[in-house]
Amino acid sequence: MQKITVLLADDHTVVRAGLRALLEAEEDINVVGESENGREAVRMAKHLQPDVVVMDIAMPSLNGLEATRQVTRESPKSRVLILSSYSNDEYVQQLTDAGATGYLVKQTAAQDLVAAIREVKKGNAFFSPAISKRLLEHFRTMVNRPPGERKSTKLTPRELEVLQLVAEGYANKQIAAELFISIKTVEKHREQLMRKLDIHDVAGLTRYAITNGIIETAQGLDATRPHA
C-alpha cells in the first residue's frame, strides 16, 4: 500500500509532536518531515514533494498564507491543508484563493484531520463543519449584493510579507535584507498597506496582524525580535 506522505508546518514543537503521533497511528499515512516556519515549509515541500502539507497560519518569518501560495507554486502536486486556531472568514477566503484545498480549526483536529488528509489527497476540498456553513452563508450574501458592494481590502503577497515582518518588530533595513529588496521598496510597500488598511502606526498594524492570524500575540510582543 502506498502511503500518503505528509509534511507538518507549525512553529509549536508540542503541536507537531501531537499531530505526528495522531497521524502515524494510521497505516496509510507517513509523516515525512516537520518545519517550524513558513520559509522552511516551502523549502521542504519543494524538496520532499509530499502529498499533503498540514499548514499553520501564524508562523514566524513567513506566515501560512504566503507559504501556501509558494508551496502550490513550487510543489504543484502537494495539497495544502490549513490547520489553525483562527477561522476569520476573510482569511479563509484568502487561503483558498492562495491554493489551500482544506481548512480545519485546531479544536476539531483530533476528529477531522485524518479524514481531511485522505480527502485532500484525492483532490477534494475539506473544511471544518462550522467553516463550511459560514462560507456557504457568505457566498449567498455576496451573490445577493449589488456588484458595487462586493469589495474587500486585498493586500498583495509582498504587502502581507512586509506586514508580518513589521508586526514582528523588524525595521525597514532588516525587512529589505530578509526579502532581498531595497529599503525604498520596503517603504513603498509599508505606505501602500497602511493606505489600504487605513492604519498609520506600527502598533495598529501589529494589532491587525494578530487579529487576522498573521502573527500570534507572543510574536507581536516578543522583545527578542530584532530591532534597528
pLDDT tens profile 76-104: 999 999 998 877 777 787 888 888 988 99
Grid coordinates representing 21 are: 503521533
Model confidence at 157, pLDDT cuts 50, 70, 90, reads: confident
The CATH number corresponding to 157-220 among 1.10.10.10, 3.40.190.10, 1.10.150.80, 1.10.357.10 equals: 1.10.10.10
Tell me the pTM: 0.69
Q: What is the pLDDT of residue 138?
A: 47
Domain with CATH 1.10.10.10 in the chain: 157-220
Q: What is the pLDDT of residue 139?
A: 45
Residues 6+ away with beta carbon under 8 Å from 87: 103, 105, 128, 130, 131, 134
Q: Using alpha carbons only, give the angle 155, 205, 64 rounded to the nearest 5 degrees.
A: 55
Domain with CATH 3.40.50.2300 in the chain: 4-141
Fold of 4-141: Rossmann fold (3.40.50)
Amino acid at 179: L
- Tell me the pLDDT of the chain averaged across its residues: 83
